[in-house]
Structure 1
Amino acid sequence: MTIRVVVADDQELVRAGFALILGVQPDIEVVAEAGDGVEAVEAVRRHAPDVVLLDIRMPRMDGIEAARTVCAETGTKVVMLTTFDQDDYVYEALHAGASGFLLKDVRRDDLVHAVRVVVAGDSLLAPSVARRLVADFASRRPAGVRAATGGGAAPDVMDVLDVLTAREREILVLLGRGLSNAEIAAELVVSEHTVKTHVSNVLAKLGLRDRIQAVICAYETGLIAPGG
């Protein structure tokens, strides 16, 4: 399977460099480049890529707003790019629906790995980092905010969780703790294949795009207490 990618950055050299790094990979095709958020959204609509890399600071429409539009309209996975590593950018990116966050000084191999990881349905944040950032993110959210379940007004929190089996709730708790599939398998004494099936079911039932949103859901529904 060839992974189709759109690269969006207002700096031509950065954009061209990322496109070159990704384009020489045998399993990745860069289908378009964009110089701002408006062009990025148009490119995603036109080419329906698997992944779009979005710079956070771009003219006409910034990367956060572009991410909101892309995530609301398509199934394309979003990876945010920035030279800034302040937590606020991460919070905004995750809330917009992004599947990951990379600094522009990312190593070549890590950039390629990131694209493959996102397509596989995993997050780009290490479990410990995801746990810290998303816990803080959830604690900043207003009381009563529901987990995002694909857009629009979300149902009552209990209704959201009631669609899960007892085992799936357990899986969601472990996802919220930042455990990998292998770690969850060891914790529950089951195979990784079984864990993957459960994770897929959790994401499908809750209308979540990826593991990052599952972590957010675990905190926002109160299944896990921020900082716990």
Structure 2
Amino acid sequence: MKIKVLIADDNSFIREGMRIILHTFGEFEVLAAVEDGQQAVEYCKTHDVDVALLDVRMPVMNGVEATRQITAHTSAKPLILTTFDDDEYILEAIRCGAKGYLLKNNEPERIRDAIKSVYYGNNVLQDIILDKLKGAIGAPAPAEAAADRGTPGSPIDLGRFTEREAEVMALIAKGYSNREISKELFISEGTTANYITSILNKTGLEHRTQIAIYYLTGRTR
């Protein structure tokens, strides 16, 4: 069964180019390509969309607000398309439920893999986006914060977490999937999922992308 994708971008060249790219892979069905966030929301409400590929800056409704509404009212998983000047939107979109960030200058194969990863329940946050997040909120680098707080590898106080939970957070911050974490720590995927649930409960966060940002920056909001 093909992954059903909606494309939302106000640039017709990018919108149609993305449609062509995804059609070259046999794994996707591009249901529609729309030009603003409001159209994306309405389409997701009335159609069975698996992944909504959303530009950030769009007229009528931007990608952040579209993400919030799609997450609240549909089962579609929002995946944000961003450029290097969209720093101010990143953290807010994650709060609103974005399952990942994808830069527009990626190779087609990277775009394919990101969409598939989000569809299968993972989160996609490229290293360069994490770096921009840390710069945007003025957070210290993890190594610097560790020296200040006596905690290795992270700017947060890990005392509230078990040793295993801290290891799981560190691997999430490196972009590991649940399966990769399980192999690295020699535990089952179910146990990994339980640790992630415990971390989410302790922090009040909602998904693993937020865990990565929390681990790297010390910020939950």
Q: What is the TM-score with the length of structure 2 in the denominator?
A: 0.70
Counterpart CA distance in 2 for 1:106 and 1:224 is 24
**Residues 1:139 and 1:60: Cα distance change in structure 2 (over 3 Å):** same
User: What corresponds to 2:102 in structure 1?
Assistant: 102
Instruction: Give the conservation status (yes or no) of the 8 Å contact 1:172–1:202.
Output: no
1:138–1:187: structure 2 CA closer, same or farther, 3 Å change rule? farther
What are the superposed Cα offsets for residues 118-175 of structure 1, whole Å, 9 maximum, x if unpaired?
111222224x5576566677888xxxxxxxxxxxxxxxxxxxxxxxx96984575345
Gaps of 5+ in 1: 141-164
SS in 2 for 1:91: helix
Q: Given the two structures, how large is their TM-score scaled by the length of structure 1? A: 0.68
Question: What are the ranges of 5 or more consecutive residues in structure 2 without an aligned counterpart?
Answer: 140-160
Change (3 A) 1:85 1:197: same
Map of 2:185 onto structure 1 = 188
The amino acid that maps onto 2:94 is L
Equivalent residue for 2:6? 6
Contact in 2 for aligned 1:79/1:99 (Cα 8 Å): yes
What is the one-letter code of the residue matched to 1:107? E
Corresponding letter in the other structure for 2:174: G
Question: How many Å separate the matches in 2 of 1:130 and 1:56?
Answer: 14
2:204 matched to 1:212?
Answer: no
Over 3 Å counting, the alpha-carbon distance change for 1:80 and 1:166 in structure 2 is same
Relative contact order, higher structure (CA 8 A, sep 6+): 1
Using the TM superposition, name which of 128-137 and 89-98 deviates more. Answer: 128-137
How well do the aligned residues superpose, as a CA RMSD in angstroms? 3.5
Structure 2 matches for 1:104-183, cutoff 5 A? 104-126=104-126, 132=131, 169=165, 173-174=169-170, 177-178=173-174, 180=176, 181=178
SS in 1 for 2:125: coil
Shift in CA distance, 105/29, structure 1 to aligned 2, threshold 3 Å? same
Conserved in 1, the CA contact under 8 Å of 2:196 and 2:208? Answer: no
Report how many residues are paired.
197
Q: Which is worse superposed, 91-100 or 30-39?
A: 91-100
CA contact (8 A) 1:3 1:27 kept: yes
Residues 172 and 202 of structure 1, relative CA distance in 2, 3 Å threshold: farther
Helix, strand or coil at the partner of 1:66: helix
**Distance across 1 between alignment mates of 2:205 and 2:27:** 26
The CA deviation at 1:103 is 2.1
